[in-house]
Structure formats: C-alpha cells, structure tokens
Structure 1
Amino acid sequence: MINVLIVDDEPFIRQGLKILIDWRKYGFNIVNEAADGQSALEIIEKEPIDLVITDIKMPHMNGIELIEAIRNGKNKHLKVIVLSGYYEFEYAKQAIKHNVIDYILKPIQKGELVKTLMEFKESYNKEAKKQAEALHTDMIVLERHLNALCSGLYNEQDIDYICKRLPYHNELRYIMMEIDLNDKGFRDLKEEEKHEVINEFHDKLKTYTQPYGDYVLLDIDKRNESYGIGFIYSRQFSKEKGINEREYIQKLQETMKVQLPYKFYCYIGEMVEEVIQLSNSFKSAIIAKSFQNYKHSEDITYYDDTSSLKTSTYGIKKEYMDELVRYAEQNSEEDIDRCVDQIYSSFEENNVDPKIININIDYLLCQFLYLTKELDSEVDQEEVLRYISECAFEQCAARGSAKHFKAFVKDFAGYLSQLRQSNSHGVLKEVEKEIELHYKENLSLKSLSEKYYINSAYLGQIFKKQYGIGFKDYLNNYRLERASELLIRTNDKVCFIAESVGYNNLDYFINKFVKLKGKTPLQYRKQFLK
C-alpha cells in the first residue's frame, strides 16, 4: 500500500476526498490528515508517508511553503499532488518548480483523481523496484568485500570499501550461526528449500540487528556441507544497548531461536582490534566449532573459552575403536552404547585435537567398509559411502553428539546384520509396487526402508543389483516414461505434465527428459504429430 497524507484547511474537503474513491482498491492507504502545512510537516517527521495531497490556500503555512519545507528537509524526495480552487499561473509555476507530480483543480473529479493516482502508482512502483534492485546489488557487493576480508584473500580496495561503507571497524568478532544438520525437519527439506530457509534466516537477522544489518552475511565456510550465516559483531553494538557482549549475543541467539523453526549453533570467534584482522576471528570461530564438537553441544561456543585449553595430539586407544567395530559386527546395542560413551569420555578428558579425532573416525569408517566387503564381495562401496553420508556420519562426527554417533553405529550394525541374510530380495516386489502407485510422491529409499523394516543402505544395494541402476535413477526413469506417454496422449502443457509426474521444477524435468530421450518434451511430442 502507498501511504497518503491529505492536507487541507477545510474539513469537508478532507472528508470528501476520503470517500470520493475506494483508496485501498487502487493500492493507497490514507494514514493521516492535516489542516495546515505546519501540522503536515510534524506528521511527515513521525510517520512513513509516500504521497502528500495538499491544498494551496491554507493558514499558518500554505501549500507552496509546505512543498518548499519538504524539498529542503530530509524527506526531499517525497511526492506531492497539489489541489487548488484558484487556477492561477503563478501557483502552477511555483508548484512545477518544486517538482510536484500533478496539479488538480477543485471541485475534484473522481476520474481525474483516479487517473493521476494510477500514473503516480506506476512511476512509484518502477522507482521502488529500481531502488530494491540497487539495494540488492549493493548488498551483494558489500558481502563480496566482507567475504574477501573474512577469508583473508583481500586487497586494499576491499578494506577501503568496507571502511567507507560500515560505521564501526574496531573491536570485532565473527559469529558463525549454523543450522544443526541433525535436525530432522531441516534434513528432510529439499535442497532449494534449505537455501530458502537460509535466505530467510539471513533476512530476519538483518532486520533484527538494524541499524547494523549490513554486518550480516551468508556464511563463507564452504569446506564442508553447512548451512549458516555470519554476523560481524562490534563491541559498540552492546555498548549502545547498555549491556555486555555476552548478554548481547545471548539475546541475539534467543531472539533468532524464536524466529527459526530449526536448531542452530553459534560459534563466536576471537575479538580482533581492527577490521583488517577479521580473518583471524573467522578462523577462530571455526576452531570454536571444532572444540565444541566433543564437548556438551552447547548452543553458543566462544573461542575465548577454548583457546586456553591445551590440546592433546595423542589419540584414543586403538582398542576402543576395534571394540566398537566388533560390537557393531555382533549387533550388540548395549555394548555399542557403553563403548561410544568410553570413546567420547576419552575425547573430552584428554582434550584431543579435532584433527586427531578425525583420524580415529576415518579408521572406524575404513573398518566398516572392510566388513561390508567381507560379507558381500559384490558390495557397491560407493553405495555404502552414500548411505554413510545420508546417515549424517560426518555431521555426527563433526557435531560431537554421542547420542547421534550411537544411532549411526547401531544403524550400521543393523545394515551388517541384513547383509548376512539372503532372503531380503522379496521386498523389492513391494518397492516396485510402491513406485508404480506412488511415483508422483516424494519417494525415497529412507521412507521405503522404514515402511518395510529394512536398512536403507541394504535396500539400495539389493535394488541396484536387481535392476542395474540406483533407486533414484530408476524412479526418475519411471516418471519420465509416464511423462512421455502423457505427451503423446494429451494436449496438456509441459509444465502441467511435469508436475503431474512428480516434478516441481520445470527446468529440472526438461533436463532429465533430454538426457533420457535425447529430445525436449515438445520435440518428442511433435515427432508423433507428423
């Protein structure tokens, strides 16, 4: 809605204007009215006004004086329409001089007013779009300079731009706010939906931190799969609110927790004195994340609290990992729980360096892969690795939750147990029926494995062995075959057909169709119309 202020010293004129047309129908909202120019100025200072419709002849401050005051004030770009019952050339000249958008004679004609408002609305929307695009471009440019600075790959131009653009350049911390990949609600989202969540998170943090929203950026830690945003905190932010920095960050985390329906963590980098040192704070935020990994999964982790700890480069006993592999092979859940607790206690008590922890985890992974090969010489190791990834193995290891790590090992133990069985292939007939009946829906190996009580990795293995291709490729091909039938038998639009066989993204559907059929959907249809 475009906010309108009506200014006229005659009450019946103001009232008549308000009821002359259905303002909201045309996209306008009369937010206030004033009897003279001085009162109008006071309203403009306090309320968001987009358009002023003002009379010329008024006491105290007339319309021309009001326009002059607007043009000389901070709202100089405010648009004005002039009303007058006195059509004098001098008034018109002065109004034009002050860049009013139109001059309407009293008594006001409904058609003339609507025409003027519609012309204004068109130009207003064009200008708003132009400003939004400029703002978006400016934001992209700023984030590019900030990313360069945080990554340490900056030049003098980056420093100069940031120093001119941002008010505070000293006493800074990089705050990494990252969504927990073990949050089931987030994990089940499609990739484009995850990015929508991050962009919304980014926008909400910008809004909350105003007038310092420019210090918010999309997180630049791209070394691992992660979904998060960054915030460059200045000590000045908390000083202005009269609280200390930990109170400020705690309130920030609690506020965004309400705004975001998914669990997230905050990793707080070290304080640096100058903006040129920002990459040090960014790197220390990553270190804070690593140290938090095997601690207590706190929502906020400060590098300051971990930097004084002495890390051990000595790994845990090899026997612990070998025991865990043996218990997984035996599918003994009680022993798995006890052994994982023992391993995590060792990580924490010895303050083991995260790099050393990763070496131990890699050893465990290799042992698991070796076991699968021993049980089935034809096992597809790539499929096993994909399964491990889907089970968020890396996230379990990276997040450091013993609970999630136990769940992974138990799930893998179940997979090993099912590999020993030879009669699981019967479930494939049921899976085939599921695809035939529900191919339009969001089917996945995970959902089908849960329905038929079979390990998803094992189901993927036997499916690929039976059909020669993976489940996703099989499902895609089935959908595309149904789409090709619809292209021949109906005159439905391609977008409708794509949606009817389970594709929400038209471009993705067309790309898949071309790969399978060697033609676009329209080309495929045309060959049968000849």
Structure 2
Amino acid sequence: MWNLLVVEDEAIVRMGLRYMVDWEAQGVCWKAEASNGEEAVKVLEAEDIHIVMTDIRMPGMDGLDLGRYIREKHGGHIQVIYLSSYDDFPYVKEAIRLGALDYLHKPTMDEKEVTAALRKAIQLLEQSTARAPERKWSEDERNDWFVSLLDAYTYPQKMLLPELAEGQFNEGLWITAMRLRDDAADHMAAASARDHLKFMSIRYLIDEYVARDWGGIVFHRNHREILWLAPAKSKEGLEDHQSKEQYLDRLRSKVFELLNASIIYSCSSVYDDFRQIPEAYLEVELKFPVNQQSDSLHVRLAKEYVDNHLLEDITLMKVAESIPISSSYLSRIFLKEVGESFSDYVIRNKVIYAQKLLRETNKKIYEISEILSYTNPHYFSKLFKERTGMTPLEYRNR
C-alpha cells in the first residue's frame, strides 16, 4: 500500500477528492492531509509518504516551494502530482521542471484522470523500489535507533527497521535489562568499562542464546546495560512469569559459565504494542534495586559473615551454621544469585584484601598469606596469580 499526502488549502476540494476515488482499490492509502506547504513538510518528516498530490498556489509555502523541498530532501522516492486551476498555467512549466509526475485541472478532473495519474506514480515507485538497494544500517546506527525507543522524547516517528515488522511481536512484548553486578568479579566490571569488546562479548552471547529459544531483539545502552526486547511468548509458547524467570536464570548461568561475568536483570510486564516501550522500560528501571543487588536474606547474611571474618579460615559449613541453613542450600542459592560459587567469592575477596596489603604495606608475602589464614604461602600465591594474572611479588613491583 502506497501512502498519499494531499495538500490543498480548500477543504471542500480535499473532501471532494477524497470521495472521488476508491483509493484502496488503487493500492493507495489516504495517509494525511495538509492545508499548506508548511503543514505538508511536518507530515513528510513524521510519516512515510510515497505520493504527494498538491495544489500549485497556496498561501505561505506554495506547491512549487514544496516541490523543491521534496526534490532536495527525498529525490525520486516521492512522486508529486500537481493540482491546478485554469489561471495556473504559467506555473505548470516550473512544476514540470521540478519533476512533477503529472498535473490535474481541478475544475475538470474526474476519477479516470486521477486514477491514471496514480497508476503512473505507482509504476515509477515500483521501478524505483526495485532499483534501489535496501539501506544498509551500521551496527551502531541500528543500536542507537533501538535505544531511541526507550524514551518518549526520543521515540522515532517511523518504524524503519524490518525486525519490528516480522510479526513476532503481534501478541505483545516485554523488556529485560541486564547489567554486571556491582559486587561480583570486580576486576571484570572494571575491565568492561575499559574494554568494550568484553561487554560486547556478553551482548553477543545473550543475543545468540535468546535468538535460539525465544526471539526478539538485543541491543545495549552506553555499553553499560544490555536490553532484550522480547515477544510475549517464546518459540515453544511459554509466556507465564515463572517460565520467564527460569529462562532468565538459565541465561544468567550461561553467561557466567562461558564468560565468567555475573549479571543481574530486571524485566517488565507484557505490553500490547511498540508505543508502550518507554513505559515498559520505565517499569524495568524502577524494579532495579538502588544498589543493584538482588540477594535473598540468606545470601546477604552469608556475605556479611565473609566481610566480618575475612581474615579467618572461612568455610561454607561455618557460614551455613551461623545463619542457620543447610550448606547445600546455601551453596545452591549463592551460586544462583551472585553468579559465582561461595568459595570463589571468598577467595576473590581475600585476594582483593591481599592487593591492598601489597600496595600499602611492606609485609612479606608469607606474612600476608598468614594474615589471610592461608598456611601455605605457595598455595596463596597460586590463587593470587589465577585471579590477577601475576604473582604477589609481580603485583607489588609493577
């Protein structure tokens, strides 16, 4: 269906023209009307228009000025048909020079004449579409366009990308936002800030994972947040809240397993159409805790124990008894919520404290090992190198 804009300052002429032709039968949608050139320009900026039928003489910006604007901004992508009165013939020559497809005499035009002009316009549009290669979007352009959907003030006027017209969102949509945790794998969080490649690896993994099972569109916001615009139902028909939570938990585990990156997420309710994307994103942002944590009470208590007893020999059994819960349950929920095992969490925090001592004191390596309750300094050095890529001595002397 080709979209039509009619520009005519006389309302009675617009009305007569509207009911003169069966537009849909001609493959044309009467998309918009304007009473002068200025209004027409606003429509052209907001809507996807293919055919403009405009009066030559109008107050303000007339049809010839509008034709110049269209030729400059849109080239041959918009076909222009002029409407003229008997005394407009001096203007017709200029209209033809501007590339007018045809001109119709308002006092005598009839359905047959209008239809013939439309068919000529459609033929040229079809030829132009067949010749014109599909516009290639760079990855950054595509990403920025999707980011513009998140805010009502930047929401685009036109749905330009084909991903939104494929029908996968016909039953609704929801949004999930994913971020690196503040407290898990601090060295990874710092690396992602310095190195976009690491962040993009996470984004590509998520894209590949959801494309297989659920579909939708994955993009990012300022290399800090990964957004997944998802269809209401998965490819297997899953749609309830519990199914989504389970799926996102599996996704989070996969990211940690393959890239050693721990993420948290927040997801919205299901919304009916694209115009509600800003509302869905606002819901997502409001659901994120202020400190970007998503820990249950038991996990918070376990972390507090580690913080308060970091220089001791900490075991999962000791912490579980202090809460109290079973050690197997604590191990399971800790890995699920934090994204790393309890023992890895303890080791990482001990290494961070060791780095502080290496920077700020002159204590020997074996002394720092003893402070952290590692009786074997060689084992401590091995753990340190596994997590920092260098030995304690190399870290101090760098």
TM tier relative to shorter chain: 0.3 to 0.5
Q: Point out which structure has higher relative CO (alpha carbons under 8 A, 6+ apart).
A: 2
TM-score (norm 1): 0.33
